[in-house]
Amino acid sequence: MRRSTAPLAGVVGALVVVEATSGVIQGFYTPLLPDIARNLGIHDADVNWFEAAQLLLSAIVVPLLARLGDMIGHRKVLIGSLVVTAAASWAIAFSGTFWLFTLVWAIQGFYVVWLPMNVSIIHARARKHENTAELTAKGAGLIVVALEGGAIGGALLAGQLGGIFADRLWISLSVPAVLVTVALFVVIFKVEDPGTRAGGRIDSSGTVLLSLALLAITGGLSLVRVNGFTIWVWAMIAAGLALLWWFVRVEKRKDDPLIDMSLIARPTLWPVILTSALFGVSVLGAQGPLSTFAATDPTEVGYGLGLDSASRSYLIGAYVFSLLIGAGVYARLSRRFAPRAVLLGAAGMVSAGYLLLIPFHGGVGMVTTLMVVAGLGSGALVAALPATAAAAAPPHQTGVATGLTNTTKTLGGAFASAIFALALSSGIDDAETTAAPLAGYQAVWAICGVTALVAVGAMLTVPKAAFTAADPEAQGLGDRSDAMALEAVGADAVVSEKPLPRPEKFEAGEEDRA
């Protein structure tokens, strides 16, 4: 008999609203970034600091809130993050200064915890049914589709509203705030607390060390924008790296670390984590430069596409739609080819798309085609990285592993946004134009392409049978002689395997409720 997500239809339907709203946030603002820059009286290059600040905060709060969700309840953390995001979204609509706008934009980044919280809620509900894995996978698939659909719709809607309310930008910027507010009430009234709680505690020392390290490194990069590479810049970056080293040492001694270093060191997992960080450079850091390049008038500076907000939204929409297609075909491709091969091909497409932009950026059709190529590869990576991380991790640490892909991707995007801001601000003549130099854009595309190539190299280090049933890491086995034997037999030889127990801990008095 055909199974479906019917047992979870109510909660999945409510969480679809949340993820669609998340998608709108991710797609809505990009076509409007040039208009926001004009409204705030800043250069195009400075909009990259919005993303850098938001991604940095996201990288800090995601592991903390994910851990907190296990402790006090995923629904509570979801509601709390919705409240914070709603307040920040309303503030964005009415912020008139660069620093205030950057601050509230960063705080809006709390929305990144919605996806892990939503998947956790779905999993907790699915545990009451025998086909837990199938229900969880289908429910998660639906909300990811909603996310990508929301991003496409948000980009297209923003483009239209940007033209209609060109002189009243606050009206356009209020749309995401309204949607987040609606999503908040949907969760309050339609999503019940599944009642599951895990043991453990918050790693406060690890959280403080990681936060200070990231703030020091990003702060050093931000000072370059003001005074160039001074001794203070290098001192802050060096201090941040030293704090990261200390963080790793401390985490290795913790029973409940913020980030499990032994997990990252697994031979099939570290390439996935590294690929996630490198992938974040392009998928999270390069959208702002794409929008400002599309808005740059070629008749004034000799490069750019000269698109208005509506036309920019079509370009961004085509890119995001290619992400949706790439994510949708990943499962089918991974069944036909090895997941490792799909990862290699996807990273190669990202690299090709961005590297070819360096010489071929002279027309809308050319740029759109290359962004679609990069988008198809990026979409496959969006779907592949969490799945392969879960397959490479021990059964009781799949949640931690998938969370690491999100955290490292966010870190990669945060550092890339800061570096891109520096690249795009070099050589600007304030008296002549607010447009970023062409060399800056070419540097951005080169960095995106080269980091994707490095990701290809990292994935080449894992065995061909990685992330499949023939991989002992996916079965919780650690003997590399077993790995060699299974790889020699091949993935197709493993036709069945008994489900592994879920070693979940619950505090006394807490049970899985209806």
pLDDT score, position 501: 44
Distance CA 208, CA 110 (A): 18
Residues 345, 330: one domain? yes
Please report which confidence band the pLDDT of residue 450 belongs to, taking 50, 70 and 90 as the band edges. Answer: very high
pLDDT score, position 6: 52
2 is a domain residue: no
320 is a domain residue: yes
499 is a domain residue: no
pLDDT score, position 479: 41
Residues 314, 167: one domain? yes
Span 480-484, average pLDDT:
39
Asked whether the beta carbons of 325 and 333 are under 8 A apart, the reply is no
User: Where is the domain boundary, 429, 446, 461?
Assistant: 461
User: Where is the domain boundary, 461, 477, 502?
Assistant: 461
CATH code of the domain covering residue 128: 1.20.1250.20
Distance CA 123, CA 132 (A): 7
Residue 127 has pLDDT above 80, yes or no: no
Span 259-265, average pLDDT:
79
pLDDT score, position 198: 58
Residue 234 has pLDDT above 60, yes or no: yes
DSSP code for 397: G
Q: Which residue has better confidence, 314 or 108?
A: 108
Instruction: Copy the structure tokens of residue 10.
Output: 């109510």
479 is a domain residue: no
Residues 172, 208: one domain? no
pLDDT score, position 85: 96
Residues 216, 269: one domain? no
Residues 227, 329: one domain? no
Counting residues of the chain whose pLDDT is more than 70, the rounded percentage is 78
Q: Which stretch of 156-160, 216-220, 419-423 has the lowest confidence by average pLDDT?
A: 216-220
Of the segments 50-64, 177-191, 226-240, which one has the largest average pLDDT value? 177-191
| Backbone phi, psi, residue 2, to 5° | -75, 125
pLDDT score, position 80: 95
Asked whether the beta carbons of 87 and 172 are under 8 A apart, the reply is no
Residues 305, 394: one domain? yes
Instruction: Copy the structure tokens of residue 328.
Output: 């949708």
CA torsion sign, 246 to 456 to 447 to 392? Answer: negative
Q: If we measure between CA atoms, which residue out of 82, 54, 83 comes closest to residue 218? A: 54
Quote the pTM value. Answer: 0.70
Counting residues of the chain whose pLDDT is more than 90, the rounded percentage is 22
Going by C-beta distance under 8 Å and a sequence separation of 6 or more, which residues neighbour residue 76? 69, 193
Asked whether the beta carbons of 222 and 418 are under 8 A apart, the reply is yes
pLDDT score, position 30: 80
pLDDT score, position 474: 44
Residues 358, 310: one domain? yes
Residues 153, 286: one domain? yes
Q: If we measure between CA atoms, which residue out of 198, 190, 255 comes closest to residue 66? A: 198
Residues 106, 240: one domain? no
Residue 215 has pLDDT above 70, yes or no: yes
pLDDT score, position 456: 93
Residues 334, 387: one domain? yes
pLDDT tens-digit map of 285-327 = 887 788 889 888 888 888 888 888 778 878 888 888 888 888 7
pLDDT score, position 195: 65
Nearest 5°: the CA angle 366, 368, 374 is 105
pLDDT score, position 228: 65
Residues 178, 279: one domain? yes
306 is a domain residue: yes
Cβ density class 461-485: b for 16+ within 10 Å, e for less? ebbebbbbbbbbbbbeeeeeeebee
pLDDT score, position 57: 83
Q: Identify the residue whose tokens are 């059964």.
A: 395
Which residue type, as a one-letter code, is found at position 212? L
Instruction: Copy the structure tokens of residue 196.
Output: 């599951």
What is the extent of the structural domain holding 83? 8-193+256-461
First to last CA, the chain: 24
Torsion of CA 373, 374, 379, 382, to 10 degrees: 160
Residue 181 has pLDDT above 70, yes or no: yes
CA torsion sign, 144 to 417 to 458 to 247? Answer: negative
pLDDT tens-digit map of 333-376 = 877 887 788 889 999 999 999 999 999 988 899 999 999 999 99
Residue 467 has pLDDT above 70, yes or no: no
493 is a domain residue: no
506 is a domain residue: no
388 is a domain residue: yes
Residue 440 has pLDDT above 50, yes or no: yes
Span 190-211, average pLDDT:
76
Residues 368, 426: one domain? yes
Q: Which residue has better confidence, 385 or 492?
A: 385
Query: What's the domain count of the chain?
Result: 2
